[in-house]
C-alpha cells in the first residue's frame, strides 16, 4: 500500500497532518510506503492571493494573517505553533519554494549517501524543517537556516548546500509540481492512497480514521494494523512510541492510540485526553521522559541517560538535538 502526500513544509495543515502520518506508520509498519511530493504553496507572497484568509500582496499583513490562521488551525489540529509574531516573508524572501527545494535536496542526499546516512533521514529533516517553521517561527526560507537544519539532522552541510543549489533539485521539483497539476491539487495536504493499480484521492486534511478506512477499502480488508498490542494505552507503549521518534506532542500520542479528545479542549495538552496525563506523569517521575514548552504547546522527549543540568537545558530549548 502506497500513500503519497502532496505538501508544502510551510502549510499548517500539513504540519497538522504529522500525527496522522506517524500513527499510520506506527500502526501499520512496513505494510505502508509513505512518500511526499512538494507542491510549492507560495511562489511569491506579493502575487499570491487567498482572499478568504486575506493572505497575499502586502507582506507585513500577510505575515500577520498567516500567524492568526496558524493559531486558529492549531486549536483544531493540535500541533503547536509559535506564540510570537511571525516574520517569515520579507522583500528578499517572498516564497516557500526554498523549503520545498530543501526537502527534495534531503531526499536526493539520502539516495546519494545511503550507505552513510541513517534510513529515512529525509523524513527527519522534513520534521525539523516544519517544526522550525511552525513552532519556532524561524525564517526557514533563508539558505543559511536550511543548511543549519540539515547539519543538525546529520547531513554534511557543504554537500547538502551543493545539492540544494543544484539544477537537479529544481528539475525534481518541476516533476513534483507537474504531478500536482495532473491531479488538480488545489489544497495541501492531499493524499493519494494506492494499491495494486487502484487509487483513491483524499483532498485536504484527512483523519487517521478516514485513511484507515481507505486502506481497508482498497485492500479488501487484507491490510490491517499490526496486532501485537501496540495500540493499547499503557505506559510501556507510550514510552516506546516517544522513544521511536525521540520526541512527540500530546496529539501525536493521542492519534497513535486513538484517544478521544475531551470536550472543550484544544488538543494541545495531555489533559485534553482521558488517562494520558497519568501515564505521562509516571514516565516523567520514572525519569524516562521530560517535557518542555514548544510554541503554544508542550513537547515530550526521551532523556539521554538521566541527563542534567535541567535536562540539557530542556533538550537545547526543545530543539531536541
Q: What is the pLDDT of residue 264?
A: 78
The CATH class that applies to domain 235-318 reads mainly alpha
Structural fold of domain 2-182:
Glutaredoxin (3.40.30)
Sheet holding 198-203, edge to edge: 33-38, 2-7, 190-195, 198-203
Q: What is the pLDDT of residue 312?
A: 52
Q: What is the pLDDT of residue 62?
A: 98
pLDDT of 313 strictly over 90: no
Q: What is the pLDDT of residue 207?
A: 97
Q: What is the pLDDT of residue 176?
A: 98
Extract long-range pairs of 56-65: CB within 8 Å, 24+ residues apart: 59/89, 59/90, 59/91, 59/94, 62/89, 63/87, 63/88, 63/89
Cell of 244: 521511536
Give the Cα-Cα-Cα angle 164, 92, 42 (nearest 5 degrees): 70
pLDDT (mean) for 170-183: 97
Q: What is the pLDDT of residue 304?
A: 64
pLDDT band at 315 (very low <50, low <70, confident <90, very high): very low
pLDDT of 90 strictly over 70: yes
pLDDT of 100 strictly over 80: yes
Cβ within 8 Å of residue 223, ≥6 positions away: 1, 28, 31, 32, 195, 215, 216
What are the tens digits of pLDDT across the range 125-141?
Answer: 999 999 999 999 999 99
Q: What are φ and ψ of residue 60, in 5° steps?
A: -65, -45
Q: What is the pLDDT of residue 124?
A: 93
pLDDT (mean) for 261-275: 88
Q: What is the pLDDT of residue 310?
A: 52
Comparing 37-51, 210-224, 301-315, which segment has the lowest mean pLDDT? Answer: 301-315
pLDDT of 319 strictly over 60: no
pLDDT of 250 strictly over 50: yes
pLDDT (mean) for 278-301: 93
Q: What are φ and ψ of residue 306, in 5° steps?
A: 55, 45
Q: What is the pLDDT of residue 307?
A: 54
Q: Which residue's C-alpha cell is 518541476?
A: 174
SS3 305: coil
The domain ranges of the chain are 2-182, 235-318
pLDDT of 146 strictly over 70: yes
pLDDT (mean) for 145-171: 96
pLDDT (mean) for 141-150: 97
Q: What is the pLDDT of residue 306?
A: 56
Q: What is the pLDDT of residue 120?
A: 80
- H or E element that contains 23: helix 18-28
Q: Which residue's C-alpha cell is 543549519?
A: 148
Q: What is the CA radius of gyration of the chain?
A: 19
Whole-number average pLDDT of the chain: 93
pLDDT of 219 strictly over 60: yes
Percent of the chain with pLDDT over 70: 94
Amino acid at each position: 500500500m502506497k500513500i503519497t502526500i502532496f505538501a508544502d513544509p510551510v502549510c499548517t495543515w500539513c504540519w497538522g497532518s504529522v500525527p496522522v502520518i506517524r500513527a499510520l506508520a506506527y500502526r501499520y509498519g512496513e505494510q505502508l510506503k509513505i512518500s511526499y511530493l512538494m507542491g510549492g504553496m507560495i511562489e511569491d507572497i506579493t502575487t499570491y492571493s487567498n482572499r478568504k484568509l486575506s493572505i497575499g500582496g502586502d507582506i507585513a499583513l500577510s505575515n500577520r494573517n498567516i500567524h492568526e490562521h496558524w493559531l486558529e488551525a492549531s486549536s483544531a489540529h493540535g500541533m503547536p505553533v509559535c506564540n510570537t509574531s511571525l516574520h517569515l516573508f520579507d522583500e528578499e524572501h517572498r516564497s516557500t519554494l526554498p523549503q520545498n527545494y530543501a526537502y527534495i535536496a534531503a531526499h536526493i542526499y539520502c539516495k546519494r549517501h545511503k550507505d552513510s546516512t541513517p534510513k529515512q533521514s529525509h523524513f527527519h529533516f522534513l520534521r525539523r524543517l516544519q517544526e522550525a517553521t511552525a513552532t519556532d517561527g524561524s525564517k526557514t526560507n533563508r539558505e543559511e537556516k536550511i543548511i543549519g537544519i540539515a547539519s543538525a539532522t546529520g547531513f554534511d552541510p557543504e554537500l547538502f548546500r551543493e545539492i540544494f543549489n543544484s539544477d537537479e533539485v529544481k528539475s525534481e521539483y518541476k516533476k513534483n509540481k507537474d504531478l500536482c497539476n495532473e491531479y488538480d491539487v488545489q489544497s495541501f495536504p492531499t493524499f493519494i492512497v494506492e494499491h495494486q493499480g487502484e487509487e483513491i484521492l483524499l483532498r485536504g486534511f484527512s483523519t487517521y480514521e478516514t485513511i484507515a478506512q481507505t486502506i481497508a477499502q482498497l485492500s479488501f480488508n487484507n491490510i490491517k494494523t499490526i496486532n501485537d498490542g501496540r495500540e493499547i494505552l499503557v505506559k510501556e507503549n507510550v514510552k516506546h512510541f516517544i522513544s521511536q521518534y525521540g520526541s512527540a506532542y500530546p496529539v501525536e500520542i493521542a492519534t497513535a492510540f486513538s484517544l478521544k479528545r475531551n470536550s472543550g479542549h484544544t488538543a494541545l495538552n495531555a489533559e485534553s485526553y482521558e488517562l494520558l496525563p497519568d501515564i505521562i506523569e509516571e514516565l516523567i517521575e520514572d525519569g524516562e521522559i521530560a517535557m518542555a514548552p514548544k510554541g503554544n504547546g508542550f513537547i515530550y522527549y526521551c532523556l539521554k541517560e538521566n541527563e542534567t543540568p535541567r535536562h540539557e537545558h530542556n533538550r537545547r530549548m526543545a530543539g531536541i538535538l
